[in-house]
């Protein structure tokens, strides 16, 4: 056993660990104190809406058609136009630097 040099007394034992909180037996989601992003009723309504849709998963949202279909089609169409214009210009010698 160690004896303290200053007082000649043995050091005090470590304090007992703190008891767990009263709600420690609850799941983590039930112990959260931060407010949710959406009310539970609205979340359940949206879950029910999306689970009962017959569309593909990537097209279920409100603006998913824009991000999953329209933007890629616009990019593909503009790139095909630019490639076609470049091939036409090269084949006719337009825009050559001397």
Q: How many CB atoms lie within 10 A of CB 43?
A: 12
Taking residues 88-93, report their average pLDDT. 94
Q: Is the model more confident about 84 or about 17?
A: 84
Which has the closest alpha carbon to 40: 30, 51, 52, 55?
A: 30
Question: Does residue 59 contact residue 68 with C-beta atoms inside 8 Å?
Answer: yes
Query: What is residue 4's predicted lDDT score, i.e. its pLDDT?
Result: 53
pLDDT at 33 over 80: no
Percent of the chain with pLDDT over 90: 26
Taking residues 43-61, report their average pLDDT. 80
pTM of the predicted model over 0.75:
no
């Amino acid at each position: 056993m160690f004896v303290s040099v200053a007082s000649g007394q043995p050091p005090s034992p470590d304090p007992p660990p703190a008891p767990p909180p009263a709600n420690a037996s609850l799941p983590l989601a039930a112990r959260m104190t931060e407010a949710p992003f959406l009310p539970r009723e609205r979340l359940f309504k949206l879950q029910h809406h999306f689970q009962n849709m017959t569309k593909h998963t990537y097209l279920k949202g409100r603006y998913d058609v824009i991000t999953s279909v329209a933007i890629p089609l616009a990019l593909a169409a503009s790139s095909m136009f630019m490639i076609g214009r470049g091939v036409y210009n090269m084949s006719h010698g337009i825009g050559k630097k001397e």
